[in-house]
Amino acid sequence: MDATSAVPSDAIVFDDLRKTYEALEGSIEALGPLSFGIRKGEFVSVLGPSGCGKSTLMLVAAGLDDATSGAVIIDGRPIKRAFTDLGIVFQDHALLEWRTILQNVMLHSDLRKIPAKELLPRAMDLLKKVGLEGFENRYPFELSGGMRQRAAICRALVHAPPFLFFDEPFGALDALTREQMRVDLEKLWLDRRQTVLFITHGIAEAVALSDRVVVMTSRPGRVERIIDIDLPRPRSSAVLASPEFVGYCATIKDIFSATGILKD
């Protein structure tokens, strides 16, 4: 079984997955075929150029879009409809403007009928961990972009889901805020070790966060290579300045250069 294949024990399995869209000019192959797996408690980034089907992959995995063929299997169950046993964060924070930050984080109390007294301590603890203590009663428009995205991550985590999906959650943030968000996310993940699918087009971001990086081709997106990231955690600034980290980034850049995605 090669490096791009899944094994039966994987928590998430992408099995010969394909996605084709019908357009006026004909069929557009967006994704696949591709097969790979994500182990329980593993942080896996899917890294590729814009338009290669990364977000489509996540939407199909979440049951928010249908595959043309193939399957996504999570915990042994083929995904046929919206998969709810997860937390999901998009590039846009998607906070409800008429609810306070705490009310947004507590949204799962309404959606999942979880008693508020059960969620409130978790919500307050998460907000404290990401530096939003004292902002619980503010509204989204009163916060910076990074603060809103921290709140969105808290909302995704508050009901303690075993799976987390991220679709370029730091894409709209400035470089310093992105780095702080990366640090915050790794700390939160290390607390519980959920199974993570993280979509990104940032090479350094993928290496800094991940146990493995799935490197994608241009459209239709296929798996070019899967790279194991053997770096100590937490990934401190010293780790990110190490020759090993630089080497992983260089390897991925070489792959993109060899496939014509990056050009000199």
Mean pLDDT of the chain: 92
Residue 165 forms part of a structural domain: no
On whether residue 134 sits in a domain, the answer given is no
| Region 206-234 average pLDDT | 97
Integer-rounded Cα Rg, in Å, for the chain is 19
pLDDT value at residue 7: 59
In a domain, 95, yes or no: no
**For the chain, how many structural domains are there in total?**
1
**pLDDT over 90 percentage in the chain:** 76
The answer to whether position 138 is within a domain reads: no
Does the residue 52 lie in any domain? yes
User: pLDDT digit string (tens) for 80-121?
Assistant: 889 988 999 998 888 999 999 999 999 988 888 888 898 999
Q: Is residue 161 part of a domain?
A: no
pLDDT band of residue 213 (cuts 50, 70, 90) is very high
On whether residue 122 sits in a domain, the answer given is no
Q: Over range 156-173, report the average pLDDT.
A: 92
Count of H-run helices and E-run strands, the chain: 9, 10
Q: How far is CA 23 from the centre of its chain?
A: 28
**Section 3-14 average pLDDT:** 73
Domain span holding position 233:
1-85+195-264
Q: Answer for the pair 156, 89: CB distance below 8 angstroms, yes or no.
A: yes
Does a structural domain hold residue 125? no
pTM for this one?
0.92
Q: In the prediction, which pLDDT does 92 show?
A: 85
**pLDDT by residue (tens digit) across 252-262?**
999 999 998 88
DSSP codes of every residue in 27-58: EEEEEEEEEEEE-TT-EEEEE--TTSSHHHHH
